[in-house]
Amino acid sequence: MDSILVKGNGALNGVIPIAGAKNACLTLMPATLLSEEPLTLTNAPRLSDIATMTQLLQSLGAEVAGLQEGKVLALSSLGPINHVADYDIVRKMRASNLVLGPLLAREGHAVVSLPGGCAIGARPMDLHIHGLEALGAEIELKDGYLHAKAKGGKLRGAQMTLRMASVGATENIMMAATLAKGTTVINNAAREPEIVDLAQCLRKMGAQIEGEGSSRIEIQGVDRLGGATHQVVTDRIELGTYMLAPAICGGEVELLGGRMHLVAAFAEKLDQAGVSVTQTEAGLKVSRKGGRIRAVDVTTEPFPGFPTDLQAQMMALLCTAEGTSVLEEKIFENRFMHAPELLRMGAQIEVHGGTATVKGVEKLRGARVMATDLRASVSLILAGLAAEGETVVSRVYHLDRGYERVEEKFRGIGAHIERIKA
Ligand code: UD1
C-alpha cells in the first residue's frame, strides 16, 4: 500500500485549481438511469470513487465513457437495465445506494445491496427506505439486499418529513419522485450545494423541481426525462481542505473556482481563528492574518453549518492554535479517528463521545501515522506540513477516493510531499 511522505517547510504560496465535487458527481451519475438519452457531465473529478460508480452503473447496463481532457463523463442508459446492484461493488462505497431511487423509478423494481459497515459510524438507510415507501415502494431486506418494488409498477407522489436532513436520502427520494405520478413534497430536506446541483441537472433533463437549497423541495412527476449536459459544481470540501494549507503553514494561496457561499460557515471560523479569506474573480484567496492561530469552537451541522467533512482538517489546524478549542461532531458518531494519530505528532486532544477538546501546541512533530478514512488522511497531511521533521502517512488509498492529484496540488504551492509506492 502506498504512503505519503510530508516534510514541514514553512509558508505555502501559489494557486490551486479546485475540482468538480466528488459528492455531487456521485449523485449526478446515477441520474442517468432515469433517462434513455445521454447525460454528459463536465468538470467531473478523476477519483477512485467515480471509477467505482462507473463500474456500478456499467454493471447495471449503463454506458459510461470515461474522463477525457476537459473532464467530461458521458453516460447513457438506453439499453435494458439490470436492476441488481451487487454487494461486491456496493460495499466499496456507500454512495452506491444512490442507484436505488433511480432504478425503482425507471424499472419499478430494484435489488440493491446494503452498503455494510463504515468506519465513521453506523450510517443506516432507514430514511431512504421510509421515503421511498412513502412513494409507494414495498421494500424488504433479504440476504443483505434491499428488494424494492413499486406497488402497481409505478411510484406515486407523496408528502413526507425526513427525521433528519440526510443528504443521500434527499437525493434518492428526489430522483425517484421525478418519474412518480403526482406531486412529492420533501420536508426537512437536506440543503447542501450538491442537492442544488442535482436539482439543476434534473431540471435540464426535464424534471419539475422547486425549492432546492431550502428545507422544502417539491417535485411534480413527469412521464419521461431526456438528456442533458451539466457542469459539476466546485468541490467545497476539497476547497476547504486546501484553504487550510496557508492557514496552518502561513503564506497566501488562491483557490481557483472557489466561491464563498460554498464554504461560508467554514470561512467564518477561519476568520475568527485569524485567517483572512477573500473572494476574487477567479476564486478564494486565503492567508494568515499574522501571529499565531487562535483557538475557536466548532460544531458540525448540516449545510449551511460547518461541514462534518472538514472537521478532521480543522482539528489539524486547531492543534497548533493558541488556547483550547472544543470540536463537537453532531453528524457522525465515531468520527475522531484522526485524533489518536494527531496525538502521535505531539497534539494534545481529549475525546469524550462526540466532543474533542484540543489544547493547541506551539509545534507538531513529524511521525509515522495511519490514515483511517478519506478526510482523516488529508488532515494528517496538513498536520505534517505544519510539523517539524518528516511525517509518513500510510494507507493513503482513502485519499485517492476524494482528492485528485493531491501531491501535485500541494507541490504547486511549494509543499514537500511525495508518494512512496509500496
Ligand atoms: C453525504 C456525503 C458525506 C457527508 C455526509 C454529511 C455523499 C456521497 N456523501 O453522506 O461525505 O459526510 O453527507 O454531510 O454525498 N442517517 C440515518 N438514516 C439514513 C441516512 C442517514 O440515520 O437513512 C444519518 C447518518 O447516520 C448520519 C446523518 O444521517 O448521522 C447524515 O447522513 P447523510 O446526510 O445521509 O450522509 P450521506 O448522504 O451518507
pLDDT digits (tens, 9 = 90+) for 12-23: 999 999 999 999
Note the pLDDT tens digit of each residue in 81-111.
788 999 999 988 999 999 999 999 999 999 9
CA distance linking residue 123 with residue 120, whole number of Å:
8
Q: Catalytic residues, which ones?
A: 118
Three-class SS state of 109: strand
CA distances from 188 to 49, 209, 212, 293 (A): 28, 16, 11, 36
Query: Where are the chain's structural domains?
Result: 3-15+235-420, 23-231
Q: Please check whether residue 395 is in contact with residue 37, taking contact to mean a CB–CB distance below 8 angstroms.
A: no
CA distances from 91 to 56, 86, 408 (A): 11, 9, 30
Residue 122 Cα: closest atom of ligand 1: 26
Average pLDDT, the chain: 94
**Where are the extended beta strands (E) located within 143-194?**
145-150, 159-161, 183-187
What are the backbone angles phi and psi of residue 155, rounded to the nearest 5°?
A: -75, 155
pLDDT band at 119 (very low <50, low <70, confident <90, very high): low
Architecture of the domain whose range is 23-231: Alpha-beta prism (3.65)
**Rounded to the nearest whole angstrom, what is the distance from the C-alpha of residue 201 to the centroid of ligand 1?**
21
Sheet containing 183-187: which strands, arranged edge to edge?
159-161, 183-187, 216-220, 208-210
CB atoms within 10 A of CB 141: 11
Longest dimension (CA), the chain: 66
State how far Cα 405 lies from the chain centre: 17
CA distance linking residue 84 with residue 257, whole number of Å:
38
**Rounded to the nearest whole angstrom, what is the distance from the C-alpha of residue 302 to the centroid of ligand 1?**
9
Bridge partners of 42, per DSSP, are 72, 231
Residue 190 Cα: closest atom of ligand 1: 34
Q: Ligand 1 pocket, 95 CB below 6 A?
A: yes
Q: Ligand 1 pocket, 235 CB below 6 A?
A: no
**Rounded to the nearest whole angstrom, what is the distance from the C-alpha of residue 409 to the centroid of ligand 1?**
28
CA distance linking residue 146 with residue 233, whole number of Å:
31
CA distance linking residue 351 with residue 343, whole number of Å:
11
Host H or E run for residue 312? helix 311-318
Instruction: Supply the pLDDT for residue 78.
Output: 83
**Where are the extended beta strands (E) located within 2-62?**
3-7, 14-17, 39-42
The grid coordinates listed for 120 are 465513521
CA distance linking residue 208 with residue 188, whole number of Å:
19
Fold of 3-15+235-420: UDP-n-acetylglucosamine1-carboxyvinyl-transferase; Chain (3.65.10)
What are the backbone angles phi and psi of residue 11, rounded to the nearest 5°?
A: -60, 145
- The reported pTM is 0.96
DSSP code, position 36: S
Residue 302 Cα: closest atom of ligand 1: 14
pLDDT exceeds 90 at position 137: yes
pLDDT band at 60 (very low <50, low <70, confident <90, very high): very high
Note the pLDDT tens digit of each residue in 392-418.
999 888 898 899 999 999 999 999 999
Measured at the CA of 136, the angle between CA 213 and CA 204, to 5 degrees, comes to 40
Note the pLDDT tens digit of each residue in 230-277.
999 999 999 999 999 999 999 999 999 999 999 999 999 999 999 999
Task: Check if 3-15+235-420 and 23-231 are the same fold.
Answer: yes
| CA nearest ligand 1 atom 38, residue | 168
Pairing label, strands 298-299, 72-76: unpaired
Q: Ligand 1 pocket, 309 CB below 6 A?
A: yes
Contacts of 394 (CB under 8 A, 6+ apart): 1, 3, 368, 369, 370, 371
